[in-house]
Amino acid sequence: MSRAFSHAIVRAPCRAIARALTTAGLGRPDYLRAQRQHAAYVAALRRCGVDVIVLPPLEDFPDSAFVEDVALLTGRCAILTRPGAPTRRGEVTEMAGTLQDYFPELERIEPPGTVDGGDILEIDARYCVGLTERTNGDGARQAIAVLRRNGLDGETVAVDGALHLKTCVTYLDGGVALAWAALRDHRSLLGLDVIEVPKSEAYAANSLWVNGTVLLPAGHPRTARCVRDAGFPVIELEMSEFRKADGGLSCLSLRFTPPG
């Protein structure tokens, strides 16, 4: 079983989200609609029994609602990342103070390493670190070294055709994962029961398991049905404005249980 989460950190979207980095080609996010969708996301986390810490918006950082990219939080350690997009690195500093309330010691990814949290997939006590345009080999090696010093393990995964590893695969619980067909037989997923996400519903591969329930982007009925058939309750959430900025459900929160 995956460990339960007692806390989540989110950051409210800023008006500048209309200028967020994007490759999606879906237009610019609408701030007011993003606010409503974010509020529904926070409500869903609370329905799952999570204490949600909502941080204020950062107008200097258009992508700052995507807090998952700036840290990796485990039951044994916390790592401040170094995002691959230079314009996002100030978000790490803004998050550090909040994390110190829960993690007395913060590890850091140092130059020339780069790591986006969206490239780190937890499968129980094992971590897969995706090698992408945002996460390089040096950053991945640093992250894995920290994990191993803390009694955890990690491995790298080459990612093609996706912004982040979690764009194309999500670990749910109990040996079940969601994944694009291209990753179904990847060595990191061997031994798991993989639910293949239809190509027409590729965006749904970035879903989120929270304390037994799966948060899933609305508008992906085949994937939702498969997840329910696998025994998971599902909450479907509108994500249109965050999708326009290359974001998914996991991107919007840092989930954790404080050490001890």
Tens of pLDDT, residues 101-135: 999 899 999 999 999 999 999 998 899 999 999 99
State how far the alpha carbon of 208 is from the alpha carbons of 26, 91, 92, 159, 250, in Å: 23, 22, 22, 20, 6
* Residue position matching structure tokens 């490239």: 119
pLDDT of residue 260 exceeding 80, the answer is no
pLDDT-based confidence at residue 1 (cuts at 50, 70, 90): very low
Q: What is the model's pLDDT at position 125?
A: 84
SS3 187: helix
Q: Give me the pLDDT at residue 5, please.
A: 97
* Residue 19 pLDDT exceeds 60: yes
- Do the Cβ atoms of 22 and 245 come closer than 8 Å? yes
Run of H or E including 42: helix 31-47
Cα–Cα dist 123/180, whole Å: 16
User: How do residues 202-243 score in pLDDT, each as one tens digit?
Assistant: 999 999 999 999 999 999 999 999 999 999 999 999 999 999
User: Are the CB atoms for 222 and 196 separated by under 8 Å?
Assistant: no
| Res 52 pLDDT > 50 | yes
Question: How buried is 131 (Cβ within 10 angstroms: 0-12 exposed, 13-18 middle, 19+ buried)?
Answer: middle
Buried b (16+ CB within 10 A) or exposed e, 210-241: bbbbbbbbeebeebbebbeeeebebbbbebbb
Q: Enter the pTM of the model.
A: 0.97
Q: Which residues have a catalytic role annotated?
A: 164, 251
